[in-house]
Chains A and B, each alone.
Chain A
Amino acid sequence: MKKTILLGAAALALLFGAPAFAAEGHDDLPHRESWSFAGPFGTYDTAQLQRGFKVFREVCASCHSANYLYFRNLAQEGGPHFTEAQAKAVASEYQITDGPNDQGEMFQRPGRLSDHWPAPFPNDPAARVANGGALPPDLSVIAKARASHVGFPGFITDAFTQYQEGGVDYIHALLNGYVEAPEGVTVQAGLNYNKYFPGHQIAMPKPLSDGQVEYTDGTPATLDQYSRDVAAFLMWAAEPYLDTRKRIGFQVFVFLIVLSGLLYFTKKKVWKNVAH
C-alpha cells in the first residue's frame, strides 16, 4: 500500500511540477476585475453598456467592424436597452448601401433597425491598407474569442467559480497595457508595446486616453473607466442573452433541485425493505 502512495505521489509531483519545466515563462496575467455580469445572478449594467457603446462607436468602430450586430440589438432588453426611437436615430445617422432598385442600380439610404452595424471598410484588404498592413479583428464575439491562459490549478477552480470573464478582463487589461517598452526590447516600426498582448508588440496604437470620450452622466472620463465600459459592451455584443441565460438557469436549478429531492426520497422509500 505504501508503495502505491509513493508512486501516486511521484506521479502527482510529476504532473503538478510539470509547469516548472515548461519552456516558456508566463507573462503578466490580466487582473481579474469585478463585473456586474459575473456570477450566477449577474446582469449587465444598462448605463455601463450605453457608455461602452459610446466609446465603441466613437473610437473602436472607426477601424473595427462588428458584423453580427444589428441596430435593433441596441434597443434589446438585457442590452444597452436604448428606446426604439434612440436606436432608430442612431441607425439613421449611417448611410447603408441597398439595392438594386428597379433601375438595376445600388443606392444609399439611411440605416434602419434591421440593418447590420456597418463596417468601417468595404473589405479586408481595404482595412489592411488603412491600418499599416494589420487587419483590425471583428469585434462581434471578441470577448469570447480572447482569454488569458490560466494553467493549473486555476482552470479547475474556474469551473466552480463560474469564471467566464477571461475575455473582458483581457480587453480591459490590453487597453490599459500600453506602457514604455522595457529596456533592451526593440519595438518594430509600426508596432506598439503592450504588456498584455501575446508577444507584446501590437499593431493597434493606444486607442483610448483620459478625457477622450465625453460622458454626460457624471461617470469619470478616465482610461480605466472607458476600458471597463467598452469591455462590458463587447461582452454584451458577444453574449447578448447572458441575462436571460442566467435567469433561466436559476429557474432550472430550483426545478431540478426540488425534483431530485423528491426522487431521492421516493427512491429511499422504494428500496426501504431491500437490503442492498
Chain B
Amino acid sequence: MEGHSTYQPKNKVARWFESRLPLVGLVHSSAIAYPVPKNLNYFWTFGAILTLMLVVQIVSGVVLAMHYTAYAPVSFARVEHIMRDVDFGWMIRYIHANGASMFFIAVYIHIFRGLYYGSYKAPREVLWILGVIIYILMMATAFMGYVLPWGQMSYWGATVITNLFSAIPYIGETIVQWLWGGYSVGDPTLNRFFALHYLLPFMIAGVVILHIWALHHVGQNNPDGIDVKSIAKDTVPFTPYATIKDTFAMVVFLLFFSWFIFYAPNYMGHPDNYIPANPLSTPAHIVPEWYFLPFYAILRSIPDKLGGVICMFGAIVVLLFLPWLDTSKVRSARYRPLYRQFFWIFGIVAVGLGYLGSQPAEGGYVIASRILTAYYFVHFIIILPVLGFIERPKPLPASIADAVLAKGGATVVAGASAPQTKG
C-alpha cells in the first residue's frame, strides 16, 4: 500500500532536502496520502488511541522519574512527596497510574477487534506477531512500574511473580536470585526494576514503529475482511478522513480517562498499595493489577507449579501462532456464523477468568478456573483449526465499495464473488 504519495516539494529548499532525506515524503505517504478502507468502524481508532497513551505514559513517566527515588527505605515516601509537595504531582501520578489501566483497556479492545475481524490472517501475520510482542513488553513494563511505589502489593506482587521462575527445573532458584539481586525481593530488585521500567517503554516505541510500518505495508484490514480492490473506490486518504475520526475518538477516550484521573483515581488500584512494603507481613490476598487477572487465574488453576507457569505463559504464546491455528480463509466474523458465536464465548471466558483471578484460590473458584482455563486453550488449539473446515461462511461482498453501499440500503449486486463452500 506504499508509494501512493503524491508529495512534490514546491520550494527549492524542500526539494533539496527531500532529494537527500525523503523525510517529509515519508510522513506525507504514511499520514496523509495513505489509503484507508472506507468501511472502518470506530474499533479502528484504537491504534491512534494506543499511540496517544504511549506518549502520555512516557511523558508523565519521565516527569515522575524526576521526582522519584528508587531506594527501598524511601521510595514509598518519595511517591507521597510527589502526591503532596510537587506542584500538580498528584495529577501527574494519577495520570500515569490510571494511564496504565487505560493503556490496557485500549489494547484489549484493539486485540479483540483483531480477533473478531480476523486481522491476524495473511498477509498480516507479522503485523499481528509484532502486536503480541508489544503486548508482552507492555505487561513487563506495567508489572515493574507497579513495584516502584514500594507498597504492600508492589512488594508481594513482585515476590509472587518473580518466584514463578523458580519453577524452572534445576536452574530456577539461581535465576530467581539473579533477578532479585539477593535472596529476596529488596532494594537491588527495586533499582533494576526502575531501570527496566524506564527502558522498556522505548523498546515498545521501537516495536510500535515496526508495527505501524508493517501495517502501512500490507494495508489495514476492515470490518468486511476483504481486500482493497480499487484504491479509488474502496479507500479514502488518511488525511483528513482518518485523522479527524481518530482525533475525535482520542478526545472521547480522554474523557473516559479523565473520569478516573479526577473523580475515581484509586478505583483501579488496590488499597494495600498505600501501606508501605513490609517483608514480615503478607497481605491476606495478593492480587495483581486487573489486567493480569485472567493469566493469574490460569496460573493458579493448575495444581502443579511448573505446569501453572507453563500454562500462564502458554496462554500468551499461543497468540503468536494464531494466524496458523485459524484455518478459515474468511477473515471477518461478520461472514463466519459459527466463529462469531465462539468469539463471544471466548470473550465471556476471558472476562470470567479475570473475575476468578481476583477471587481467593479456593473451593468453587478453583474448579471454575480450571474449566475456563481448559476452554481458553481448547478455543485456540481445537475450535479454531476445526472451525475452518466445517464452517460455511456467508457470501462475501465483491468489494468494500459494494459492502458500504449495501449497508447504506442501496441496491447492490450482492455475492458477485462466489460464496465459499469451505473456508
Q: Which residues of A are in contact with B by a Cβ distance under 8 Å?
A: 1, 3-4, 7-8, 11-12, 14-15, 18, 20-24, 40, 67-68, 73, 137, 140-142, 144-147, 152, 158-159, 162-164, 166-167, 198, 238, 240-241, 245-246, 248-250, 252-253, 256-257, 259-260, 263-264, 266-267, 270-271, 274-276
Task: Tell which of B178-186, B193-201, B236-244 binds the partner.
Answer: B236-244
Known: A12-B348, A257-B255. Is A245-B365 also a contact (CB below 8 A)?
no
Complex CA gap A140/B275 in Å reads 10
Q: Is the Cβ of A270 less than 8 Å from the Cβ of B258?
A: no
- Contact status B90-A241, CB under 8 Å: yes
Q: When the two chains form their complex, are residues B241 and A274 in contact, meaning their CB atoms are under 8 A apart? A: yes
| Cβ A144 vs Cβ B355 within 8 A | no
Task: Determine if A18 and B90 form an interchain contact, defined as CB atoms under 8 angstroms apart.
Answer: no
Given contacts A1-B341, A21-B363, A270-B244, contact A158 B251 (CB under 8 A): no
* Interface contact B275-A275, CB-CB below 8 Å: no
Q: Which of B236, B348, B360 is packed against the most chain A CB atoms within 10 Å?
A: B348
Instruction: Name the residue on A nearest B401 (C-beta).
Output: A275
* B280 CB → nearest A CB, Å: 11
Query: Is B27's beta carbon under 8 Å from chain A?
Result: no
> Chain A residues near B258 (CB, 8 Å)?
249, 252-253, 256
Residues of chain B contacted by A73 (CB below 8 angstroms): 84
- Measured CB to CB, the closest approach of chain A to B413, in angstroms, equals 15
Partner of B359, one of A3, A18, A198, A246: A18
A27, chain B: closest CB distance, angstroms: 13
Report whether A23 and B345 are in contact in the complex, using a CB–CB cutoff of 8 Å: no
- Do B274 and A198 touch (CB < 8 A)? no
CB atoms of A21 and B364 under 8 A apart = yes
Q: Contact: B255 with A144, CB < 8 Å? A: no
A88 to B253, CA, bound (A): 46
Q: Report the Cα distance A272→B236, complex, angstroms.
A: 13
Q: Is the interface of A mostly helix, strand, loop or mixed?
A: helix
B375: nearest chain-A partner, CB-CB: A11
Q: Across the interface, which residues of A come within 8 angstroms of B365, CB to CB?
A: 18, 21-22
Instruction: Tell me the chain B residues, 266-316 only, with Cβ under 8 Å from chain A.
Output: 266-267, 271-272, 274-275, 284
Q: List 18 A-B contacts (CB under 8 A).
A: A8-B348, A11-B345, A15-B352, A18-B368, A22-B365, A23-B363, A68-B77, A137-B275, A146-B271, A147-B271, A158-B264, A164-B266, A167-B271, A245-B265, A259-B251, A274-B38, A274-B236, A276-B404
Give how many A-B residue pairs fall within 8 Å (CB-CB): 142
B266: chain A residues within 8 A (beta carbon): 144, 164
Would you call A8 and B345 a contact (CB within 8 A)? yes
List residues of chain A with CB within 8 A of the CB of B169.
Answer: none
Contacts of A22 in B (CB 8 A): 359-360, 362-365
Q: Cβ of A248: which chain B residues have Cβ within 8 Å of it?
A: 91, 262
The interface residues of chain A lying within 8 Å CB-to-CB of B80 are 68, 140-141
**Are the CB atoms of A11 and B349 closer together than 8 Å?**
yes
Contact of A159 among B83, B267, B344, B364 (CB under 8 A): B267
Judge if B49 is at the interface, Cβ distance under 8 Å.
no
Q: Which residues of B contact A7 (CB under 8 A)?
A: 345
Assembly CA distance A249 to B251 (angstroms): 15
User: Closest CB of chain B to A151's CB: distance in Å?
Assistant: 9
Determine if A263 and B247 form an interchain contact, defined as CB atoms under 8 angstroms apart.
Answer: yes
For the complex, give the distance between the alpha carbons of A12 and B345 in Å.
10
Closest residue of B by beta carbon distance from A148: B271
Which residues of A are found within 8 Å of B244, using beta-carbon distances?
263, 266-267, 270
Question: A270, B240: Cβ atoms under 8 Å?
Answer: yes
On whether A275 and B38 interact (CB within 8 A), knowing A1-B341, A249-B262, the answer reads yes
B170 touches A (CB below 8 Å): no
- How far is it, in angstroms, between the C-alpha of A1 and the C-alpha of B236 when the chains are bound? 36
Choose among A4, A20, A145, A162 the residue that contacts B274 (Cβ–Cβ < 8 A).
Answer: A145
Q: Which residue of B lies closest to A24 (CB)?
A: B360
Asked whether B213 is an interface residue with its Cβ less than 8 Å from the other chain, the reply is no
Contacts of A1 in B (CB 8 A): 341
* B245 beta carbon closer than 8 Å to chain A: yes
Partner of B264 from the list A4, A164, A263 (CB cut-off 8 Å) is A164
In the bound complex, residues from chain B placing their C-beta under 8 Å from that of A270 are: 240-241, 244
Rounded to whole Å, the gap between the CB of A90 and the closest CB of chain B is: 18
The verdict on B70 contacting chain A, using a C-beta distance below 8 Å, is no
